[in-house]
């Protein structure tokens, strides 16, 4: 059944001329979500139950759904005390009563649904689930916790204290111990201050530079929404002042992070499909909300609200992201390729962290300033027509296009790149990725096929390493082959990314020791469409026009090393479109026991390229007899030149 998307009624064109979204509209959006969740509410139990049948019988899933819905309900209740849960027809249940009943159900030892204590209880992720509830209570109305019965508060605090003191994991989970400890201390429960400091120091140890922390292995949106907001929230609490040195470093790092993070959204505030747990959706904007819990948010209120409102509307304006009353296991529509093994039908609730903005006062700059676009949209284009910044700490390049409002992110420090949310050459706001495909290549990726290993093999990216930036060129290296495989088992490709007007110029060095066919995927477009050609001074360019008049296009211009182009029709592999077509280039290396070093170059874009943006590519060779490809010189029609040099790249590689 079709779902009517959220609409902005009576937009505020004065204070919010770009999205129309005021604080009142955020409250309406919260109400919209609660109405969507009504089918999950069991009136006999006065409880929200998970959508999936297997989760309805799981106490862990039920407790998780409660805590993650609390992230929406409690800030909403703070902003609008008339809010009720469960039903719009019979008036629903008062929020304070829902909270009390839920805590009695899960935290009272006399309840048949008692979650137990960690180690002996029924929920292995109790600390994670408690963290959502702790944050929700911090963002809810003042005095809400104190209004609960004393004996219930005592039982709940004992359960939380057991969780906080129990084993944690060496990543963002340590924040759950920290925030839980702060909540306990605020309510008079003795805490282990040595453990508290250790958790905080361990979190700072993950700092990588440029405001970013390494959370686990990689850097991505998950790092932003599951790490950064918690440091800002903690630093806003009175408890943080007991650790002034750590607090000061945390705030400084957060400010550095925000300076670049505002660039990771399109002009409209849309986030990219990049990194794990994409089904958290508009949780991506959460750091921009939590910045305003600090005395110095480091970001203009009008810019933050414009991005956050745009990110919210990116999803709530759609009708295809719903399945049985809850958001799909996907990004827009259901899409298993971007769902992790730990995700289930209750996982979506982390996106509600963005509603922490309703805990900000009316006079906060987040609400009081007029909306405006992010600064990069106002910048004058550089000589390349776009702006690019490179963050050495996380190995990330961010390219904003003032002309189209799109954003591109390239990543260089990816230890395990077998997931499509990590192994693409670039991620764009206006082009969603393909997931697993039946044949090579997926969009915006390198792949190879070979019969050299006795059986036919399809080699995909399993590692990406970063080699720094120099003179406008970002250097990386990818490995096509089995994870942790030897170089002889796969193909090494040294990457050079050069930003040009309207597109990305690739100049890459391919290093292999066996015959193979190499594929480079461009953008995928909507529908099954045919390949078209365009003539450039350098040769033939290839285009795909999406099947809808408003669809983006895909353009590839081979400049060196490529021999063929192809339009590949697919069904069900694109994150947004049921039918899609991927544009791809290919080259084949033949012979036995061949040692091949080749330079390949191509432009990837979403519109025909102006002649001034298409350079002449002259490969550069070393002094060896084999003519080692060491790079290339790019000469543009306007006389501008760019030098690509791969010399010494092995010594610069970082993960």
**What's the pLDDT tens digit per position in 392-417?**
999 999 999 888 899 999 999 987 66
Which residue segments constitute the domains of the chain, with CATH numbers given? 23-377 (1.50.10.20), 387-614 (2.70.98)
Tell me which of 182-186, 401-405, 550-554 is least confident: 550-554
d(CA 218, CA 235): 25
Q: Please, what is the average pLDDT of the chain?
A: 91
Closest CA to 65 of 281, 346, 351, 352: 346
More confident residue, 653 or 595: 653
Reported as type and span, the H/E element at residue 462 is strand 461-470
Listed in sequence order, the DSSP H helices in 317-430 are: 365-368, 375-378
How many residues are given for the chain? 655
- Tell me, what's the pLDDT at 404? 86
d(CA 163, CA 119): 9
Tell me which of 357-371, 407-421, 470-484 is least confident: 407-421
d(CA 190, CA 456): 63
Reported as type and span, the H/E element at residue 276 is none
Q: Is the pLDDT of residue 89 over 90?
A: no
Q: Would you say 395 and 411 are in contact if contact means Cβ atoms under 8 Å apart? A: yes
Q: What value does the mean pLDDT take over residues 507-527?
A: 94
d(CA 85, CA 529): 47
The DSSP-derived string for 477-517 is EEEESSTT--GGGSEEEEEEEEEETTEEEEEEEEEESS-EE
Q: Is the pLDDT of residue 418 over 60?
A: yes
Grouping H, G, I as helix, E, B as strand and the rest as coil, residue 579 is strand
Q: Is the pLDDT of residue 383 over 60?
A: no
- Tell me, what's the pLDDT at 625? 38
- Tell me, what's the pLDDT at 292? 99
Per-residue model confidence as pLDDT tens digits over 64-78? 999 999 999 999 999
- C-alpha distance across the termini of the chain, in Å: 46
Closest CA to 642 of 498, 482, 540: 498
- Tell me, what's the pLDDT at 132? 96
Q: Kindly state the tokens that stand for 353.
A: 């962290």
Q: Would you say 27 and 35 are in contact if contact means Cβ atoms under 8 Å apart? A: no
Tell me which of 32-41, 381-390, 642-651 is least confident: 381-390
d(CA 129, CA 353): 13
């Amino acid at each position: 059944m079709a779902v009517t998307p959220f609409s902005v009624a009576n937009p505020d064109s004065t204070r919010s001329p770009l999205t129309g979204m005021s604080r009142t509209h955020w409250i309406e959006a919260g109400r919209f979500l609660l109405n969507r969740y009504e089918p999950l509410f069991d009136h006999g139990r006065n409880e929200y139950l998970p959508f999936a049948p297997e989760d309805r019988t799981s106490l862990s899933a039920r407790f998780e759904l409660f805590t993650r819905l609390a992230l929406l309900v409690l800030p909403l209740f703070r902003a609008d005390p008339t809010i009720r849960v469960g039903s719009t027809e019979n008036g629903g249940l008062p929020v304070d009563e829902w909270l009390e009943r839920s805590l009695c159900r899960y935290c009272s030892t006399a309840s048949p649904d008692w979650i137990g204590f960690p180690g002996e209880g029924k929920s292995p992720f109790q600390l994670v689930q408690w963290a959502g509830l702790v944050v929700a209570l911090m963002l809810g109305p003042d005095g809400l916790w104190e209004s609960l019965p004393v004996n219930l508060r005592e039982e709940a605090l004992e359960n939380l204290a057991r969780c906080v003191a129990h084993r944690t994991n060496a990543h963002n989970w340590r924040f759950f111990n920290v925030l839980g400890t702060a909540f306990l201390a605020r309510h008079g429960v003795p805490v282990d201050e040595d453990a508290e400091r250790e958790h905080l120091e361990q979190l700072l140890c993950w700092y990588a530079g440029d405001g970013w922390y390494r959370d686990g292995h990689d850097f991505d949106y998950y790092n932003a929404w599951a790490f950064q907001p918690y440091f800002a929230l903690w630093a806003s609490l009175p408890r943080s002042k007991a650790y002034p040195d750590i607090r000061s470093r945390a705030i400084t790092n957060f400010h550095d992070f925000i300076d670049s993070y505002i660039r990771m959204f399109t002009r409209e505030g849309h986030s990219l499909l990049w990194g794990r747990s994409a089904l958290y959706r508009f949780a991506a904007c959460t750091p921009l909300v939590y910045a305003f819990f600090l005395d110095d948010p480091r970001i203009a209120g009008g810019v933050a609200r414009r991005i956050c409102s745009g990110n919210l509307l990116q999803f709530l304006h759609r009708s295809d992201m719903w399945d049985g009353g809850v958001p799909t296991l996907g990004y827009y529509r259901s899409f298993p390729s971007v769902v992790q093994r730990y995700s289930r039908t209750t996982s979506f609730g982390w996106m509600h962290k963005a509603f922490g903005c309703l805990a900000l006062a009316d006079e906060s700059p987040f609400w009081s300033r007029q909306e405006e676009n992010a600064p990069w949209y106002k910048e004058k284009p550089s000589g390349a027509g776009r702006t690019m910044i490179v963050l050495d700490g996380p190995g990330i390049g961010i390219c904003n296009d003032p002309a189209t409002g799109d954003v591109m992110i390239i990543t260089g420090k990816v230890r395990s790149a077998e997931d499509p949310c990590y192994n693409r050459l670039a991620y764009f706001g206006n082009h969603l990725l393909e997931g697993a495909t039946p044949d090579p290549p997926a969009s915006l990726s390198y792949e190879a096929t070979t019969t050299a290993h006795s059986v036919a093999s399809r080699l995909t990216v399993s590692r990406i390493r970063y080699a720094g930036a120099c003179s406008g060129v970002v250097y990386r290296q990818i490995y096509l082959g089995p994870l942790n495989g030897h170089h002889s088992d796969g193909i090494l490709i040294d990457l050079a990314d050069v930003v040009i007007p309207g597109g990305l110029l690739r100049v890459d060095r391919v290093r292999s020791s066996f015959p193979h066919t190499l594929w480079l995927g461009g953008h995928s477009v909507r529908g099954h469409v045919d390949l078209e050609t365009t003539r450039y001074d350098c040769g033939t360019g290839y285009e795909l026009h999406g099947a809808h008049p408003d669809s983006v296009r895909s353009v590839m211009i081979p400049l060196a090393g490529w021999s063929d182009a192809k339009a590949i029709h697919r069904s069900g592999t694109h994150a947004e479109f049921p039918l899609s077509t991927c544009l791809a280039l290919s080259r084949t290396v033949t012979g036995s026991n061949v040692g091949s070093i080749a330079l390949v170059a191509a432009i990837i874009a979403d519109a025909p390229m102006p002649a001034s943006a298409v350079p002449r590519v002259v490969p550069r060779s070393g002094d060896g007899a084999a003519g080692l490809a060491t790079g290339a010189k790019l000469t543009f029609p306007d006389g501008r030149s760019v030098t690509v040099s791969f010399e010494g790249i092995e010594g610069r590689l970082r993960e």
